[in-house]
Amino acid sequence: MRTYIVGNWKLNFTVGEASIYLHKLLKKMPNYRDIEVVVAPSTIALQPLSLQIDRHKMKLSAQNAFYRDYGAFTGETSFTQLRGIVDYCIIGHSERRYIFSESDKVVSKKVAAAIRNKITPILCIGETESERAFGETKDVIKDQLIGGLSEIGDDDIDKIIVAYEPVWAISSTKSSKLAAPDEIADAVKLIREILSEVYGKKVAESVPVLFGGSVNPSNAGAYLTVPGVNGLLIGGSSLILSEFTDIIEIAKRVHA
Ligand code: PGA
């Protein structure tokens, strides 16, 4: 399986800044066929960057989109509008769930809309700090995974990517808040067990599972060697060109 390195730029970079960053990244980056490099700029930058990107080297992802294709939904952008512009869309990121109140129901409709529009959903799941403290990690992972996939049929399950992002480990500046490799291994094992129960063993083994939460060049190697982890979803460190390209090089070395 390929290794996925996905940079989530969140609400950062103007269109001009995003274009300059992409230009430098494309110049610096070799074409690694076994590493799928993806960047997720703000919606406003997607169309211009889609004209600039070299799709042999990397792909574009949206950070969010609405689940209806057209209609009276002021302010929204649909997967239909993004079709042909992006290859991926991050769905159910914890910032969407907790700042914008997205439920599993909404997340599931977005996953279905992405697939309907030939865009690969990167379904984010993960427990908060208090859910972990109360011993609810397994239930949260199960509910968010089964809930998020509830609107797609068995035929489409091989079109998704899952990202395990424990909320307590996102944007952390403290080493005490970093996820330990064995904590990630347990969660990824659980994700594959749930997929196996619901969709069968073959699917459970073939769905890529990424890890995200304060990934940087000094921990990327350790996270990429966690059993069952097929890639990384990177926020802060993906905004710094040298760090992002270092992580891509680490992925290449680990993959070899
Ligand atoms: P971070 O963000 O790498 O800055 O922790 C990851 C994410 O939110 O996807």
Q: Which one of 90, 165, 232, 247 would you pick to mutate in the ligand 1 pocket, going by the greatest count of ligand atoms within 8 A of its CB?
A: 165
Taken in order of first residue, the domains within the chain and their CATH numbers are 3-249 (3.20.20.70)
Contact 146, 125 (CB under 8 A): no
Ligand 1 close to Cβ of residue 219 (< 6 A): no
Question: What SS3 class is residue 201?
Answer: helix
Long-range contacts of 74-83 (CB under 8 A, 24+ apart): 77/43, 78/113, 78/117, 79/110, 79/113, 79/114, 79/116, 79/117, 79/119, 80/117, 82/46, 82/117, 82/119, 83/117, 83/118, 83/119
Ligand 1 close to Cβ of residue 235 (< 6 A): yes
Look up the pTM and report it: 0.97
Per-residue confidence at 136, pLDDT binned at 50, 70, 90? Answer: very high
Nearest protein CA to atom 2 of ligand 1, as residue: 235
Atom of ligand 1 nearest to the CA of 170: 5
**Per-residue model confidence (pLDDT) at position 176:** 73
Please state which of the ranges 75-79, 161-165, 174-178 shows the lowest mean pLDDT: 174-178
Ligand 1 close to Cβ of residue 148 (< 6 A): no
R_g over Cα of the chain: 17
As a whole number of angstroms, the distance between CA 82 and CA 77 comes to: 8
Mean per-residue pLDDT over the chain, rounded: 96
Please state which of the ranges 147-151, 169-173, 209-213, 234-238 shows the lowest mean pLDDT: 169-173
Q: Residue 189, class by beta-carbon neighbours within 10 Å (0-12 exposed, 13-18 middle, 19+ buried)?
A: middle
Per-residue confidence at 53, pLDDT binned at 50, 70, 90? Answer: very high
**Per-residue model confidence (pLDDT) at position 35:** 97
Active site residue 93: yes
Average pLDDT over every residue of 55-62 = 96
What are the tens digits of pLDDT across the range 79-104? 999 999 999 999 999 999 999 999 99
Q: Which one of 128, 214, 219 would you pick to mutate in the ligand 1 pocket, going by the greatest count of ligand atoms within 8 A of its CB?
A: 214
Nearest protein CA to atom 9 of ligand 1, as residue: 235
**Side chain identity at residue 105, one-letter code:** K
